[in-house]
Structure 1
Amino acid sequence: MENTKHSEQDLQAIALKVREHIVRMSTAGGCFTGASLSAVDMIVYLYGEFLNLTPSNLKDPDRDYLFLSKGHDVPALYGTLVELGFMEKERLENHLSLNDHIYWHPNTHIPGVEFHSGSLGHLPSVAIGVALDLKISGSNNKVICIMGDGELNEGTCWEAVLVANAYQLDNLIFVIDRNHFQANMRTEDLIPLEPLAQKFESFGAAVKRINGHSYTELHEAFSTYPFQQGKLNVVIADTVRGKGLPSIQERADRWFCNFSANEVEQLLLELHGEHTTSLTSETLIVR
């Protein structure tokens, strides 16, 4: 990767730390572990490399914006914000505590979070509003909205694509975390999405499809922004649910996980390639 702030090795090291944070949040109430692990590399790249967004410019009108529409992936966002200095690592110990705002979905009391989310399909419209305002004012800020592939079953997402193209919002990027699962089912077994790129293109968007775990491909895609003048940018990032933990990868029953403290320690070893564990269904909560 040329002309970057971080080397690929740096980004991989940050991502590993973020995955550790996610695993540690997967207990004492749990979190959406599998989906969060699929989004780590994208979020690390965007905050660490692509966006003009730092702990010191959060109120700067010239900053960029990231909206996490698939809000259940917030453990990946929390971990990234910690590793890049937006908030203290110790706050993650307050996950699901009544004494803090660290819970299952983004909260604007957390530095670096632009908007609450959780109800799927809502934030693309919020991102459009911000992008349109910036376009009218002649600003050069970038606006990103990360969406889940299952979230695309919401009609509001496709309405948003139509509106974004109607207003030629080429300062806006929709990033799709294409991990091929919606909750505890495969997307293609529920409401098939493919051919996904062609669907976005038919709505007028400029589309790139990449490996969402490859920093080289992430950089190659985002460095060409805007993809086409006057068109909404869409990045379909093919990812693996549960990425980094072979024992839970691509498993429909590992959507929401609430592991014991001992299992968390086993998973941390597995994350570092030191141990392989087989976790039983008794420790799992599926919502």
Structure 2
Amino acid sequence: MNEIEILKRKATEIRMELLTMIYEAGTGHTGGSLSSTDILTVLYYHIMNVDPKNPKWEDRDRYVQSKGHSVEAYWAILADKGFFPKEELKTFSQFNTRLIGHPNNKVPGVEMNTGSLGHGLPIGVGMALAAKMDGKSYRVYTLMGDGEQAEGSVWEGAMAASHYKLDNLVAIIDRNRLQITGSTEDVMSLEPFADKWRAFGWEVVEVDGNDIEQLVEVMEGAPKAAGKPTLIVANTVKAKGISFAENVAKWHHHVPSKEEYQLAMEELSKQLEVLQ
């Protein structure tokens, strides 16, 4: 099994884990977690330089999940990497848990509390600027949602990143085209999306955000230009991996019924079998 196949298998396992978390907790953001799973898998298992045994290591790469509501894949990956025990995933969204419905920096591996949309990119800009000022070589990665692009602070951060020539900053947008109230283009149209970011001084590349091989190629090549921050527009499918949920708006925060959960797990199990 080559590395791409290993990453595909890992992404499927993470989907199964996060779906179980949501089903057992009776709450969660299913669609966005599933759409961003491949992105996070490539980041954490192939790209980023982090150490679960030393999560505050000064030279670690930084990751900020701006679309904090889609936290389930993030929790599953941090546990699988060894930042905290896997058994703790069973406490997701339970009373007194650390694993709440948004990233919580009391959990090892989480840099910042996030979830109030529009804040992740400006935080990432600050981290990347600090690295430049301190002469550090670490990189900063920030994942945003496409519905989040209606927030003005995103564009303030975009201007600052370009102004300070932060080529150690890579922003990724989970472009699944659906937000809580429907289509992004109906709620607040974004197109021409890539051109807007280019106008703000970013190097922009578009990719199939559910294609592991494409993600590896693009992320290995980031930053794409010296002196410019990089934006990866990751075109994804909401609720990727579950055929009856894909591109269905209600799955933004729909909790699967017992029957839906069983059907979804059967589908994902078959995907694993193909990857044997």
Deviation at 1:215, TM superposition (A): 1.9
Query: Structure 1 residue 21 and structure 2 residue 17: aligned?
Result: yes
Q: Which amino acid aligns with 1:196?
A: F
Q: Which amino acid aligns with 1:23?
A: L
Unaligned runs of 5+ in 1: 1-5, 275-287
Q: Which amino acid aligns with 2:91?
A: N
CA–CA separation in structure 2 for the residues paired with 1:190 and 1:230: 34
Task: Name 2:224's counterpart in structure 1.
Answer: 227
Task: Name 2:47's counterpart in structure 1.
Answer: 50
CA–CA separation in structure 1 for the residues paired with 2:51 and 2:5: 20
CA–CA separation in structure 1 for the residues paired with 2:97 and 2:185: 38
Task: Name 2:184's counterpart in structure 1.
Answer: 187
8 Å CA contact 2:181–2:187 kept in 1: the answer is no
CA–CA separation in structure 1 for the residues paired with 2:254 and 2:80: 23
More relative contact order in 1 or in 2 (CA 8 Å, sep 6+)? 2
Query: Structure 1 residue 128 and structure 2 residue 125: aligned?
Result: yes
Percent sequence identity over aligned pairs? 37
Q: Deviations over 1:17-66 (max 9, x none)?
A: 11011211222331100110000000010011111012123111111000
Task: Name 1:80's counterpart in structure 2.
Answer: 77
Q: Which amino acid aligns with 2:17?
A: H
Map 1:26-41 → 2, pairs under 5 A: 26-27=22-23, 28-41=25-38
Q: Which amino acid aligns with 1:120?
A: L
Query: Structure 1 residue 96 and structure 2 residue 93: aligned?
Result: yes
CA–CA separation in structure 2 for the residues paired with 1:56 and 1:130: 22
Query: Structure 1 residue 137 and structure 2 residue 134: aligned?
Result: yes
Task: Name 2:274's counterpart in structure 1.
Answer: none
Q: Which amino acid aligns with 1:143?
A: V
Deviation at 1:139, TM superposition (A): 0.7
1:206 equivalent among 188, 203, 211: 203
Deviation at 1:260, TM superposition (A): 3.5
Q: Which amino acid aligns with 1:68?
A: Q
Deviation at 1:134, TM superposition (A): 0.6
RMSD: 1.4
Q: Deviations over 1:157-185 (max 9, x none)?
A: 01110011111111111110000112131
Q: Which amino acid aligns with 1:129?
A: G
Other structure's SS at 1:9 match: helix
Q: TM-score, normalising length from structure 1?
A: 0.90
Which contiguous aligned blocks of 4+ residues in structure 1 show a shift greater than 6 angstroms? none
Q: Which amino acid aligns with 1:8?
A: I
8 Å CA contact 2:55–2:83 kept in 1: the answer is no
Query: Structure 1 residue 119 and structure 2 residue 116: aligned?
Result: yes
8 Å CA contact 1:26–1:258 kept in 2: the answer is yes
Deviation at 1:262, TM superposition (A): 4.6
Other structure's SS at 1:272 match: helix
Q: TM-score, normalising length from structure 2?
A: 0.93
Unaligned runs of 5+ in 2: 272-276
Task: Name 2:64's counterpart in structure 1.
Answer: 67
Map 1:159-178 → 2, pairs under 5 A: 159-178=156-175
Query: Which structure shows the higher helix fraction?
Result: 2
8 Å CA contact 2:11–2:37 kept in 1: the answer is yes
Query: Structure 1 residue 256 and structure 2 residue 222: aligned?
Result: no
CA–CA separation in structure 1 for the residues paired with 2:220 and 2:263: 38
